[in-house]
Structure 1
Amino acid sequence: MLTARRRPVAIAAALLSGALLLTACGGDSDGGSGDGKTLKLWHYETADSAMGIAWNEAVKEFKAKHPGVKVEFEEKGFEQIQKTAPMVLNSSDAPDVMEYNKGNATAGLLSKQGLLTDLSGEVTKRGWDKKLSAGVATTARYDTNGVMGTGAWYGVPNYAEYAMVYVNKDLFEKYGVPVPKPSATMAELTAAMDAFARKGVTPLADGGAEYPAQQYLYQLALSKADRSWVDGYQLYKGKVDFHDAAWTYAADTFADWVKKGYLSDKSSSTKAEDAGLSFIQGKSPLFFSGSWWYGRFKSENKFDWDTLLWPGSKLTLGSSGNLWVVPKGAENKELAYDFIDITMSKKVQNLLGNSGGIPVAADASALTDPRAKRLIGDFTTVSGRDGLAFYPDWPVPGFYDVLVSETQKLITGSAKPDAVLSALQSAYDKGAPKK
């Protein structure tokens, strides 16, 4: 996923304002329209996540406004949609509205292939553009080359996100390891991981078969990078060198953490869901991942826990949330637009915020949950310092799978860091726009 033409400093500042932007008036559809039809909805959020809770409420609201319409919901896995979307959306099985990953390599690619509906008219008609800050909107617009930031609207995001370190405070206390504070340094966090490893506990939950492992790798690189480095990697501004100081530090450190037992050498086949469950089940002291887990942890964790931003780094993974997209071949597009409109309503946005998500069109005075305020407060810190650096797989189509494969090699030790970086360089250069 990738941002293209708009500089992230503007994106970050706009995301900050957009996270708590008050909703504008959006047009409602006729309550009985679509009688006898079925709205086919796909998304990959669990029922107890912040987005899942909010979108379930949106389904109820939709049914109340469209009593004659059946809602057919299918929960799809992230990987499932990631791998099959181009094929499914080009068939009669396409849903009417679905959650899809933002960025050049995903939504941008589908828009370029003509598989997504241009939503520009609906965006203006229903006032969605007035509810979204410029930064949030960046991930929704793609030019004719599928590059993000300008052009037509092919999706609508209704939340924002960023990555953080989740801390199981009870496990720290059980093993006599000092609990890292939000102001912790990288040296303090490393000392804590070392203490757990010496006690036979793998400190970091990880999932090498999906996105978590590559996000550790990218965050390590970001800790030695700056905004111009991100611009080069994500926006094609200048030559990208995977053997530079930042990427070399990341690969070397990741491999070293596996050797030291900070990351399990058995995690190469672990899914993201399993990594999250190991934290929920109280097996892992630490987990670095996105705010999309926050609501679920809030409802499922049976222990005292906290969060902190990655120590010693001004940059972290983050952006707007995923997009609602309407496939080109969707049968009931008007119903899809109505559903999207409901997810942008103040009622659903406020619920999302109080459930552990980062809303883009909420009423700030309605956000009363202490954890919600903390979550949004840290997001404010990151976005305020221009710290949102997007995600490692954004630059080129197919890069997600390459990152998974190459990071797995660092976990298993089947390839040296230098060889892994060379493979990443080759894949990046092959997919990046030719200058």
Structure 2
Amino acid sequence: MITNRRTFLGLAAAAVSIPLAGCAPGGSAPASSSAPTDVNTDPASLPETTITTLDTWTDKASMQSQWVTAVNAAFTAKYPKLKVKRTSATFDDINKTLKLKLSDTSAPDVVPANNGWQGIGTFAKAGLILNLDAYAKGYGWDKRIPATIATMHQVAADGSQIGTGSWFGAPIAQGGFITVYFNRSKLDKLGLATPTTFDEFTTSLSKAKAAGEVPMMIGTQDQWLSTTTLFALMNVFAEKQKIADFVYGTGGAATDIGMKEAGALYQQWAADSYLPKNFAGTPGSDSGQAFVEGTGVYYFYYSDSLPFNNVATANKFGTFLLPTEGMPLQATGASNQNFSIATKSKSPDAAAAYLDFASSTEAGDIALKTGVMPFNGTFTKPADAGALLADELAELNAVQETDGFVPYFDWASPTMLDTLGAQTQLLLAGKITPDQLVEACQKDYDAFRKSQGK
């Protein structure tokens, strides 16, 4: 099974964003109704309890599942009275049912609510997830979590805006970017080095095609994977602040965010046969598996989300971020899950202790030992780090240095992923123009903003 960043954000074990039925902005309760003030942030003093968690890592053999299993064990070892009962489901299933789960008295304590309006924005507005400000202050999240990352987990107190205000989730200490994977042996066979400029990358695509290779493996039957490359390319053509302003609703227009230029180049790559035959009819999970098994030189995907079940397999591949010419390095990335606490949780103090641990440097060190990319800080490469993990740490530390984290564009509205997934499919098929792609994005955005009275 393939997993991806929609495993948590969706970034999924394969997924497509599905609107949350009956959970539109303007829900039953204001966000401020779920803001506890009398909290305990001393985990050692908490009574014995079992914290129920839900995540999207359904493949027990995956390295991400191995990571969270190790984190849970380390948490209980540190706080023996606090046990963790973990369950998993695909993002697709969670996206369909999470509102109902959160509305039930037996709701899990910790849930993987998607970032943006698809998840925490809508759930906070409806009063279904807890305002975590008191815990953030008590545990010092605002001091140890970078501001650009913290913003991804915040919603205005009245539920009117994402990217500002109160904490309604916390970033786990395992994360990733939309990155470019490459097959090491194929790149060597082509006599090519890892691209360090955007021109070098585009030139290598034509050389791969000339050599009879599939330059870029992809499968867009599920729509969502078609947006991955688009979002990565937008970072080449627009500064991070313009994209962030649009996503968080603080300014700008769809014409300012590099989408037209990214769409034009993406469409040209499809016309030049840089993508595999029948990519439009290939499920994302099949395309990822095919890449791991040797089809394709490059693959745009999410860090640590290809079906690598061991370090030896992972090290056959490398990864790099698209170079951003004339701008500081920036990349679309986030923690590999937003964890929120259900308002109906019977053990919110214990659940908050779990969020604190799962977002900590200690949990990041566990990621390193597992062979996956940590998050929420700068980490030193272990002496025994595999080749892929070494690439990922270089990416993380480079983006930390420039504070170049760009929010996922589909967070801009509850339906943006659906809209852009469908429109990008049409773009790659040559049925719409890049201008029409931009128009569809703006139309979706405007309709949502209007529904909010903006």
Q: TM-score, normalised by structure 2?
A: 0.77
Taking the aligned partners of 1:129 and 1:379, their CA distance within structure 2 comes to 20
Query: Within the alignment, does 1:420 sit opposite 2:434 as a pair?
Result: no
Q: 1:190 to 1:373 in 2, by over 3 A?
A: closer
Native 8 Å contact 1:168 1:306 kept in 2: yes
Unaligned runs of 5+ in 2: 1-8, 10-40
TM alignment of 1:230-379, pairs within 5 A: 230-242=243-255, 246-264=258-276, 266-293=278-305, 296=308, 299=311, 301=313, 304-313=316-325, 314-354=329-369, 355-360=371-376, 364=380, 369=385, 371=387, 372-379=389-396
Q: Distance in 2 between matches of 1:288 and 1:156?
A: 26
CA separation of 1:81/1:414 partners in 2, compared to 1, >3 Å: closer, same or farther?
farther
Alignment-mate amino acid for residue 113 of structure 1: A
Q: Deviations over 1:94-146 (max 9, x none)?
A: 32212232224421221111110122223333444443233332222211225
Return the letter of the residue paired with 1:61.
Answer: A
Equivalent residue number for residue 411 of structure 2 = 394
Structure 1 residue 151 and structure 2 residue 165: aligned? Answer: yes
Residues 31 and 239 (structure 1), Cα distance of their counterparts in 2 relative to 1, 3 Å cut: closer
- Structure 1 pair 212–423 and aligned structure 2 pair: CA distance change class (3 A): same
Matches within 5 A, 1:66-145: 71-92=84-105, 94-143=107-156, 144-145=158-159
SS of residue paired to 1:139: helix
CA contact (8 A) 2:333 2:407 kept: yes
CA contact (8 A) 1:105 1:397 kept: yes
Change (3 A) 1:119 1:303: closer
| Aligned equivalents of 1:342, 1:192: Cα separation in 2 | 43
Contact persistence 2:259–2:438 (CA under 8 A): yes
Shift of 1:76: 1.9
TM-score for both structures, normalised by structure 1? 0.80
Give the counterpart letter for 2:263 in structure 1.
A
Structure 1 residue 283 displacement after superposition: 1.8
Kept after mapping to 2: 8 A contact 1:204/1:287: yes
**CA positional deviation for 1:33:** 0.4
- With CA pairs under 8 Å and 6+ residues apart, which has the higher RCO, 1 or 2? 1
Aligned length: 404
Q: Which runs of 5+ in 1 are unaligned?
A: 2-25
Equivalent in the alignment of 1:195: 207
Aligned match of 2:183:
168
The residue number in structure 2 matching 1:12 is none
CA change 1:339–1:270 in 2 (3 A) is: farther
- RMSD value over aligned CA atoms? 3.3
Show CA shifts across 1:173-209 (max 9, x none): 4xx42333242x3333223222333444322222421
Identity %: 23
Alignment correspondent of 1:6: none
Counterpart amino acid of residue 387 in structure 1: G
